Amino acid sequence: MSLYLEAIRRRRTFAIISHPDAGKTTLTEKLLLYGGAVHTAGSVKARRSARHATSDWMAMEQERGISISTSVMRFEWDGCEMNLLDTPGHNDFSEDTYRTLAAADSAIMLIDAVKGVEPQTIKLFEVCRMRGIPIVTFINKMDREGRDPLELLSEIEDVLGIPTTPASWPVGQGKAFCGVYDRWQRRLLKFERSEGGSNKVPVIEASLDDPVLKAELGSRLYSSLCDGLELLDGAGVPFDRHAYLAGRQSPVFFGSALTNFGIEPFLDAFIGLAPSPGERFTAGGDVVLPQDADFSGFVFKIQANMDPRHRDRIAFFRLCSGRFERGMQATLYRTGAKLTLAKSLTFMAQERMNVEEAFAGDIVGLWDSGQLHIGDTLYVGKPVEYEGIPRFSPEHFVRVVLRDPLRRKQLKKGLEELSEEGAVQVFYDLKRMERDPILGAVGKLQFDVVQHRLQTEYNVHVTFDGLPYQHARWIEGDLDPDEISRRSGTLCLHDIEGRLIVLFQSEWMMHRIMGDYEKVKFIAAVQPGRLAD
Ligand code: G4P
């Protein structure tokens, strides 16, 4: 048992959430560099840009190996095993991005000091909040002329509604950026501009009352730092570990990923802050402890394999308790089937390799021939079923146009399977039923993937007609679909499990209708199989 506890204590499983261009790739790269998992900066980036340089799905298909191996990146820091889960942004923003957060125990929210809180930050933050995931904030690009740090903090508090507590405080900004004062360790970390930022930058430390510091900063910067710190000490919220772990407060760090500034002290603080794998809840509300001897965990993402002739795929499995051993047998809760977990992968930086053993908090890639679904639980011993992964309301919708009407059956089968795999959500018009299904996605690229896979895996050629809806809510309660359909800018559909969902052309319309039906619940995320709050 102590072996388990020791392994768990050393693990940190986390994700970085941010809006595209905030610097996630750069930060990831620097974390891997510092963790010794890569030796030169640029390797993640080069592969990423190869992936993003094209919108051609065929080319992306060939690059899929990359997205598999960058889905989880492992590195070590100060004796801790870090499992960094990738949450794609950019073009491939999709439901996977949300689902990945179900496997994380904490998150780093990366904010661009120039742009502040942006739309995708808000969406991802909401998912973290829903799951009560603790969030550490890193305000990046301090080497650029950005917004006032106090203004950034109040934007985070106002827009996201989470109190912040600065763990560090910047001295100057942009060209005048001199470093950050570490409020927790009472020391100044001095910034030195480095060529290209590809090597580690030495950090010069000096306490606030060191006369060298005043001389170094000059009296103007020195007194503005003292004023800032005084203000924070007087009016700021003190750090409260309990509130942070409950997702009700976020410690904030400042730095610059590109110039390597602040990464090392950030990592040091982060491993102290980020929780190691904790208890998880079953669908029935029971608690499973990570050190429980019986193996259990759930599938949070499925990645189709590169080879279109096989339906092999990789199921990303998050261990919640016990120990994984290659070749072991586990039970799939949904069907009761016994599976031998023989082909399994782990991920080291960008490499994938066979995994022999793993513990709670680890992510294992299981080869699957089509038996596993997103949200599935595998267990050994006493039956366990985890809460499942919610389905999030889509924001893009298209109507499927089938080129060859004789292939309707194959289309139905293909869409059912792709929906099960979580590649897209499938809806049906209440009147037209199974003719012309409607697809919904969180990211538009999901449609390209579906079109391509229908063609290569099911030999079904489809095109899509775009639909003008931007929001959707599942309905719980007494609502007459005919009445709602008469309101302009709405469309009522059934999802694949027969639940009513209403599409809205604008947020304004949605809120107006929600206001008109106060007794009805309009739900943004549902658990497959049952409605969730
Ligand atoms: P993303 O994964 O969140 O989309 O962001 P990415 O790391 O690709 O960074 C987006 C842009 O921001 C890149 O510039 C990157 O160099 C820059 N960047 C990241 N961190 C910092 C920072 O701390 N300071 C400054 N000044 N810039 C930063 P780019 O011009 O789009 O790409 P590149 O030509 O530099 O590769």
Q: Is the CB of 258 under 6 A from ligand 1?
A: yes
What are the C-alpha distances in Å from 453 to residues 62, 308, 433?
13, 8, 23
State in Å: Cα 437 to ligand 1 middle.
40
Q: Is the CB of 153 under 6 A from ligand 1?
A: no
Determine the pLDDT at residue 398. Answer: 97
Q: Is the CB of 256 under 6 A from ligand 1?
A: yes
Of the candidates 106, 72, 79, 74, the one whose C-alpha atom is nearest the C-alpha of residue 7 is 79
Determine the pLDDT at residue 348. Answer: 57
pLDDT tens profile 433-449: 667 899 999 888 889 88
* Spatial distance between the Cα atoms of 4 and 369, rounded to a whole number of angstroms: 30
Give me 214's structure tokens.
């005043």
Give me 264's structure tokens.
């090392």
State in Å: Cα 23 to ligand 1 middle.
5
pLDDT tens profile 473-529: 999 998 888 898 888 899 999 998 889 999 999 999 999 999 999 999 999 988 776
Give me 12's structure tokens.
């940190």
Q: Is the CB of 23 under 6 A from ligand 1?
A: yes
- The Cβ of residue 85 has, within 10 Å, a number of other Cβ atoms equal to 24
Of the candidates 40, 94, 42, 39, the one whose C-alpha atom is nearest the C-alpha of residue 71 is 94
pLDDT tens profile 3-52: 789 999 999 999 999 998 999 989 998 898 888 776 665 555 555 554 44
Q: Is the CB of 141 under 6 A from ligand 1?
A: yes
| Ligand 1 atom at minimum distance from 255 CA | 23
Q: Is the CB of 143 under 6 A from ligand 1?
A: yes
The residues, any chain, with a CB within 8 Å of residue 350's CB and separated by 6 or more, are 38, 43, 44, 47, 66, 69, 70, 73
The residues, any chain, with a CB within 8 Å of residue 404's CB and separated by 6 or more, are 460, 461
Q: Is the CB of 25 under 6 A from ligand 1?
A: yes
Helix H, strand E, coil C: the string for 200-213 is CCCCEEECCCCHHH
* Substitution site in 33, 49, 258 for ligand 1 pocket (most atoms within 8 Å of beta carbon): 258
* Spatial distance between the Cα atoms of 295 and 322, rounded to a whole number of angstroms: 4
Q: Is the CB of 491 under 6 A from ligand 1?
A: no
Q: Is the CB of 28 under 6 A from ligand 1?
A: no
* Spatial distance between the Cα atoms of 454 and 414, rounded to a whole number of angstroms: 6
* Spatial distance between the Cα atoms of 79 and 35, rounded to a whole number of angstroms: 10
State in Å: Cα 261 to ligand 1 middle.
14
Determine the pLDDT at residue 53. Answer: 39
Query: What is the DSSP annotation of 423-465?
Result: S-EEEEETTTEEEEEEEEESSTHHHHHHHHHHHHHH---EEEE
Determine the pLDDT at residue 531. Answer: 45
Q: Whose CA is nearest to atom 9 of ligand 1?
A: 23
Query: What is the DSSP annotation of 306-345?
Result: S-TTS--EEEEEEEEESEEETTEEEEETTT--EEEE-SEE
pTM of structure: 0.89
User: Helix (H) and strand (E) counts for the chain?
Assistant: 15, 33
Distance of CA 463 to the CA centre of its chain: 30
- The Cβ of residue 187 has, within 10 Å, a number of other Cβ atoms equal to 20
* Spatial distance between the Cα atoms of 111 and 15, rounded to a whole number of angstroms: 14
Phi-psi label, residue 489: left if phi above 0, alpha if psi -120 to 50, beta otherwise: left
Query: Cβ-count burial of 118 within 10 angstroms (0-12 exposed, 13-18 middle, 19+ buried)?
Result: middle
Q: Is the CB of 257 under 6 A from ligand 1?
A: yes
Determine the pLDDT at residue 431. Answer: 73
* Substitution site in 16, 21, 30, 33 for ligand 1 pocket (most atoms within 8 Å of beta carbon): 21
State in Å: Cα 257 to ligand 1 middle.
8
Which residues of the chain fall short of a pLDDT of 70? Answer: 1-2, 38-70, 88-92, 194-204, 305-312, 347-352, 432-434, 529-533
Determine the pLDDT at residue 336. Answer: 96
Q: Whose CA is nearest to atom 4 of ligand 1?
A: 21
Q: Is the CB of 20 under 6 A from ligand 1?
A: yes
